[in-house]
Structure 1
């Protein structure tokens, strides 16, 4: 399977080198996630990220989210220890390395609603309890993932122990990526040379990241993995690659090959994963919604469907989730628990946002920062203005091949790869970067514009944006720049999420010191 390990080389080349730590994946004993049930016969409350999670999927409280951690080296160097072979050895090793738990994980709670007849599939505490293959366990332990995180403890027994669907709500940075990556790797039969699992993601960046996480965890299994994204080099667009055992792709590309041209044989399909499901199944996002539905139509009814997102915010989205994943297990978090306790939310009221941004520019270089705007035209204009004032920034937005605001897929890959590597420190982005992308060094998120829809704040997008910081259990800051007229919108966020958004420190020096202290 060596040749399969090299497929998508062009798409992954710049990104692969920055994925060594399993970004978007497992926490070494400290993440979160969710399950649920449709006609649930049983429910259980297990420890989770400070979550009450009262009520069911259709309760007024929205589905929530949770943070994630990644293996970190002791101060001053990298981790260079023996790879544990068993759960007992892993526990012994855990006592010797840095504590990697998320803030509040020991006292946090999640509600697990099991579908009828699955009461016996209880949460686990060790990898050995999941009956994973030695090859898959080796990939897990090589990542220094000592034991399952909270979402994996609850979700994986239900996914692997049955063919029942799942609706999973996982906070930004919670380990959901590794949850479905391990689920796919465990369900795929390496001896069957056909496509058996597909994960659909809303952006090429997230599709590549999901493929990379799965590839890293499954590198000893011999399972073939390929990313189906726009602008695949022709030499990689082979039938062998297209029929890889696990495919990670964007809706349009997968629809083209599954539904329209029928280049992908779905007869052997076992699992369909929809990442950032609230975006992909919502009719409001017409074309993507249609593409996902068409892909599902080409698969047999017994395919196990897993829907993951940090937010399922409206009754309509919840209805579509239940239609696409009927009789599902569920994990539920109230909307008040969505905002991460390790992210300090701030605001600055100003009628001159640009001037204030230049005032705090030096602070944004402490760690890395993402500045979110609502429109690509504004992203280009802001980047040009900052660069003209001698403030280096980079920019990422959706693909557009013509005009002054041109950005093709290759440039998007390059910009994100350089940001991951720390070669650039400050990134201006539209919401193409709001979901799923993990860059652990991001300390600060600035909402130059509050996300908007229909005259109000787009609450789900707000949570996804600020979740680009505070990754892997680290602390972060989110700053909202608002005018006097936008103060009411800020109040609506406070009310909706029952969270604190406090005023910025009185001096830039005080803010700079605050950011420096985050990484101590």
Structure 2
């Protein structure tokens, strides 16, 4: 359901009950797709490059109002596309020549602030001179001051650190055009509402205020009535994704142990094809190199991979030449490969929308699938938000033990032997030659058939131990 207090409609307002569809055909004409909002060509080019093709319901409802400069209250779950819903109109109305902050986004956590800042940077990739800065506690204050002095148009920050800069006089908001309160109910839950009100009271009287919240408790409603001017109201009740075919699990692991845990999960989880999602290009390379050293057929998809190579990689994944794909979110948009049976979130996506897209890479065409989320202890608090979006609990699992992995290794070896007996992989001529070698060695060494078979199995192991030994405590 969408409520819009203006009562107006736009060419982008149809099909508000439809789910976001980033895999739909590209159409950036003047009256379809994102083209109907009046965005400039640079913004549309950036959207096409990152795979945004059709606006989601929240984007269709909110963007026209925000392009008019109206205040807005949006009630929508994380995962509905709300970041783009406020970021795109803010960028469209920005003055790149003005080096003081024009947009301020308040987010409840450092991770969300970084996620929103990354989104702004992606959308603004074709806009010359537009700079975004994330400011949050725990980072170097002096470096943030230096970045602010260099000039930025968009600041995304946590309330406490934004207040620090405002009190120090290092964050000049005299030219601010718009403030966005992202996940307002989460800021209420974390005790930041007094800070948010303090920031609001320091802002220029004439500014646009946008408030997004998954729920609308009385305190958030009070703030919207006090600080927003005749806001448009948009409520999106997203149809719950059918995740019934996807088994979702998470495991707790400290950051230094993530690679070792990943290798254990891949050994323990038998799957035809696997996608491992990482947050950055550098992490995709590190993970892929480690998996290659452990004998996996692995490929990388990130923003540095040219389109032609991307297409070859996907074809190799479809044909079975690659079993593990390590990818970033942007690089994997629109990926549709039926043989993917397992998605591993090596890094948690701090936008639940990205989580929904990630796990949707498995369970395709009515098949079952698995999704495993790696969480560090400090990331545990984000689990509830993801569960709300997928409307089901995400069960905890343990890092596979030595015993589990060793049993899987034995089972796989037995299955391979059985399969080779039933369906030989070699030609008749080659099998005859192999048989001749066995007979000659048996005659020369006086070996029994069982001794020959054991020697052949050891030869197949190529010096690698059959059983995993050693440390298995990941807590």
- The interval holding the TM-score normalised by the smaller chain is 0.5 to 0.7
Contact 1:339 1:463 in 2 (8 A): no
Could you tell me the TM-score, scaled by structure 1's length? 0.49
- Aligned mate of 2:132, from 209, 221, 225: 225
2:15 corresponds in structure 1 to 47
Match of 2:159 in 1: 251
Q: Output the CA distance in 2 between the equivalents of 1:290 and 1:437.
A: 30
Query: Is 1:135–2:42 an aligned residue pair?
Result: yes
**2:197 is the alignment partner of 1:290:** no
C-alpha deviations, 1:28-61, integer Å up to 9, x for none? xxxxx96644xx67799853226xxxxxxxxxxx
Partner residue of 1:70 out of 22, 39, 48: 22
Gap regions ≥5 residues in structure 2 = 267-278, 288-300, 303-324, 328-342, 363-369, 374-380, 397-475
SS at match of 1:47: coil
Change (3 A) 1:298 1:274: same
Cα displacement (A) at 1:178: 1.0
**Change over 3 Å in CA distance of 1:229–1:70 after alignment to 2:** farther
Paired residues for 1:89-488 under 5 Å: 125-161=32-68, 163-222=69-128, 223-233=130-140, 236-241=143-148, 243-258=151-166, 260-280=167-187, 282=188, 284-286=189-191, 288-309=192-213, 311-333=214-236, 337=237, 340-344=240-244, 369-371=248-250, 438=355, 440-442=357-359, 464-467=386-389, 478-479=392-393
Which structure shows the higher helix fraction?
2
Report the CA distance shift for 1:139/1:194 in structure 2 as closer, same or farther (over 3 A). Answer: same
* Cα deviation 1:129-187 (Å, max 9, x = unaligned): 433223222222323433433332222111112x3210112333222111111021112
* SS of equivalent residue, structure 1 residue 478: coil
Distance 1:371 1:315 in 2: 33
Task: State the Cα distance separating 1:235 from its structure 2 match.
Answer: 7.1
Conservation of the 8 A alpha-carbon contact between 1:168 and 1:308: yes
Distance 1:416 1:72, change over 3 A: farther
Contact 2:20 2:55 in 1 (8 A): no
Cα shift readout 1:186-232 (whole Å, capped 9, x = no counterpart): 12111111100011111222111111111111112121111112333
Alignment correspondent of 2:322: none
Aligned equivalent of 2:378: none
268 and 34 in structure 1: CA distance in 2 versus 1, 3 angstrom threshold: farther
Q: What is the aligned length?
A: 316
Q: How many Å apart are 1:466 and its aligned residue?
A: 4.1
Instruction: Find the aligned partners of 2:112 and 2:90 in 1 and give their Cα distance.
Output: 17
Counterpart-to-counterpart distance in 2, 1:413 and 1:261: 35
Name the CA distance, whole Å, in 2 between partners of 1:180 and 1:435: 16
SS of residue paired to 2:244 = strand
Superposed CA deviations along residues 439-486 of structure 1, whole A, max 9, x for unmatched, are 733366799xxxxxxxxxx9x98564242x5xxxxxxx834669xxxx
Unaligned ranges ≥5, structure 1: 1-32, 51-66, 74-82, 89-123, 347-363, 373-378, 394-410, 448-457, 470-476, 483-520
**Alignment partners' CA distance in 2, 1:251 and 1:412:** 26
- Cross-structure match for 1:496: none
Aligned residues: CA RMSD: 4.7
Give the 3-state SS of the residue equivalent to 1:268 in structure 2. coil
Match of 1:87 in 2: 29
Distance 1:416 1:330 in 2: 40
User: Against the structure 1 CA distance between its residues 318 and 305, is the aligned structure 2 distance closer, same or farther, given a 3 Å change threshold?
Assistant: same
Quickly say closer, same or farther: Cα 1:42–1:140, change in 2 above 3 A. closer
CA pair 339-132 structure 1, distance change in 2 beyond 3 A: closer
Q: Give the Å deviation of 1:313.
A: 4.2
1:437 Cα deviation after fit: 5.7
Q: Which has the higher contact order (CA 8 A, sep 6+)?
A: 1
Conservation of the 8 A alpha-carbon contact between 1:446 and 1:478:
no
Asked if the contact 1:34/1:155 (under 8 Å) is kept, the reply is no
